[in-house]
Amino acid sequence: MFNTIIEAAKNFCVHQIRDEFTLNDTLNKDRTLIAYIDLDTHSGNKYRVYISADKSFIQKVSYIFLEEDESDDETLQDMLLETANLIVGSAKVLAEESNNSYSISTPFFEKDGSFDYEYDNIKTIQVQNDKLSIAIKEL
């Protein structure tokens, strides 16, 4: 499941951000905007997927979708939620194609701050100096 979400995140970078990126296993320790989406598998397992991005990454998304050079905090939060929904929603479609389907909740904005949650797996995508981390935790 996590690999499918990472594949969807890479697709997001290729098709939406349209810029080169790197992928690593480290946590972005900078202050970030953090949202999550809960997943329920058909076998009864529950997971929480955290999407954590620095404001500059989400500002890039805001510029792409809204053509805003400087978005306010509320708009950046909305763009983070939209990014989470696009990535996890795309992963859900990829999972259905391989008979590993699950349902997803509505994305929820958690906070603007340090990522201090427990997780099972994490990957960070970096586009230039901008970072987006994706972490998953079985509940």
Sketch out the chain's domains with CATH numbers: 2-138 (3.40.1550.10)
- The Cα 91–Cα 102 span in angstroms is 10
What mean pLDDT comes out for the span 85-92?
Answer: 90
What mean pLDDT comes out for the span 56-76?
Answer: 91
What per-residue confidence (pLDDT) applies to 35?
96
Does an H or E element contain 123, and which?
strand 121-127
Do 127 and 57 touch, CB atoms closer than 8 A? yes
What mean pLDDT comes out for the span 65-77?
Answer: 91
Spatial CA neighbour of 1 closest among 62, 57, 47, 54: 47
What mean pLDDT comes out for the span 111-136?
Answer: 92
Of all residues in the chain, the percent with pLDDT exceeding 70 is 100
User: What's the whole-model pTM score?
Assistant: 0.90
Confidence bin at 16 (pLDDT 50/70/90): confident
Structure tokens at 84: 């989470």
Spatial CA neighbour of 58 closest among 119, 133, 8: 133
